[in-house]
Chain A
Amino acid sequence: MSTVLIIFYILSAITLSTAFLTIYTRRPIHSAIYLVLCFFSIAGHYLLFNAQFLALVHIIVYSGAIMILFLFTIMLMNLNNEDEVHKPRITRLGAIIVFILISIIMVSVFINSKTIMGDYDDYGNDYQSIKVLGKILLNEYMVPFEFASILLLVAMIGSVLLSKKEKSGK
Chain B
Amino acid sequence: MEKNLALILLISPFIGFLFNIFFGKKVSKGLSGAIGTMTVIVSFLLSIFFFAQVNQNGKGIEVSLFEWIQVSNFKLDFGILLDQLSILWLLFVTGIGSLIHLYSISYMHDDENIHKFFAYLNLFIFFMITLVVGNNLLVMFIGWEGVGLCSYLLIGFWYKNQPYNDAAKKAFIMNRIGDLGFLVGTFIIAYVFSTLNYTEIQPLIIDGKTNSSLLGVAALSLFIGACGKSAQLPLYTWLPDAMAGPTPVSALIHAATMVTAGIFMITRMNFLFDITPEVQNLIAIIGAVTSLVAASIGLLQNDIKKVLAYSTVSQLGLMFLALGLGAYNVAVFHVITHAFFKACLFLGSGSVIHALHGEQDMRNMGGLRKYMPITFWTMMISTLAISGIFPFAGFWSKDEILMVAFEHNTALWVVASIASIMTAFYMFRLMYLTFFKEFRGTETQKNHLHESPSLITIPLVILAILAAIGGAINLPGSMWLNHYLEPILVGKHEVHILGTQEYMLMGIALAGAIIAIAWAYSKYIKQNFVPKVDSEIEDFSKIIYNKYYVDEFYTFLLIKPINALSNFFRTTLEPALGKVVFSFGTIVNGISNQGRKLQTGSIGLYLFAFVLGLCAIISYLFIAR
- Chain A residues near B (Cβ < 8 Å): 87, 91, 94-95, 98, 101-102, 105-106, 108-109, 112-113
Q: Which residue of B lies closest to A87 (CB)?
A: B604
Partner of A102, one of B604, B614, B623: B614
Contact A91 B604 (CB under 8 A): yes
Contact A102 B622 (CB under 8 A): no
Contact A105 B604 (CB under 8 A): no
How many interface residues does B have (CB within 8 Å)? 10
Apart from the given pairs A95-B608, A101-B615, 6 other A-B contacts in the complex at a CB distance below 8 Å: A91-B604, A98-B612, A102-B615, A105-B615, A105-B623, A113-B622
A165 to B22, CA, bound (A): 80
- Min CB–CB distance A94 → chain B (angstroms): 7
Q: Is B566 an interface residue (CB 8 A)?
A: no
Residues on the A chain within 8 Å of B611, using CB: 98, 102
Residues on the B chain within 8 Å of A94, using CB: 608
- Whether A98 touches B608, Cβ cut-off 8 Å, given contacts A105-B615, A106-B618, A109-B618, is yes
Contact B615 A112 (CB under 8 A): no
Residues on the A chain within 8 Å of B615, using CB: 98, 101-102, 105
- Chain B residues near A (Cβ < 8 Å): 604, 608, 611-612, 614-615, 618-619, 622-623
Contact A109 B622 (CB under 8 A): yes
Residues on the A chain within 8 Å of B619, using CB: 105, 109
A98 to B609, CA, bound (A): 10
Residues on the B chain within 8 Å of A98, using CB: 608, 611-612, 615
Residues on the A chain within 8 Å of B604, using CB: 87, 91
Q: Which residue of A lies closest to B622 (CB)?
A: A109
8 contacts between A and B (CB under 8 A): A87-B604, A91-B604, A94-B608, A95-B608, A98-B615, A102-B614, A109-B618, A109-B619
Residues on the B chain within 8 Å of A105, using CB: 615, 618-619, 623
Q: Which residue of A lies closest to B614 (CB)?
A: A102
Closest 10 pairs (CB-CB, A-B):
A109-B622, A102-B615, A105-B619, A105-B615, A98-B611, A105-B618, A101-B615, A102-B611, A109-B618, A91-B604
Residues on the B chain within 8 Å of A102, using CB: 611, 614-615
Contact A108 B608 (CB under 8 A): no
Residues on the A chain within 8 Å of B623, using CB: 105, 108-109, 112
Q: Which residue of B lies closest to A94 (CB)?
A: B608
Q: Which residue of A lies closest to B602 (CB)?
A: A91
Residues on the B chain within 8 Å of A106, using CB: 618
A106 to B618, CA, bound (A): 8
Q: Which residue of B lies closest to A99 (CB)?
A: B611
Residues on the B chain within 8 Å of A87, using CB: 604
- Min CB–CB distance A11 → chain B (angstroms): 27
- Min CB–CB distance A100 → chain B (angstroms): 11
A23 to B381, CA, bound (A): 122
Q: Which residue of B lies closest to A101 (CB)?
A: B615
Contact A112 B612 (CB under 8 A): no
A87 to B604, CA, bound (A): 10
Q: Which residue of B lies closest to A88 (CB)?
A: B604
Contact B608 A112 (CB under 8 A): no
A87 to B608, CA, bound (A): 14
- Min CB–CB distance A91 → chain B (angstroms): 6
Residues on the B chain within 8 Å of A109, using CB: 618-619, 622-623
- Min CB–CB distance A114 → chain B (angstroms): 12
A98 to B613, CA, bound (A): 11
A135 to B615, CA, bound (A): 39
A106 to B611, CA, bound (A): 12
Residues on the B chain within 8 Å of A91, using CB: 604
- Min CB–CB distance B190 → chain A (angstroms): 73
A17 to B614, CA, bound (A): 25
Q: Which residue of B lies closest to A106 (CB)?
A: B618
A109 to B622, CA, bound (A): 6
A105 to B615, CA, bound (A): 7
A95 to B612, CA, bound (A): 11
- Min CB–CB distance B576 → chain A (angstroms): 44
- Min CB–CB distance B595 → chain A (angstroms): 21
A76 to B614, CA, bound (A): 36
A105 to B622, CA, bound (A): 9
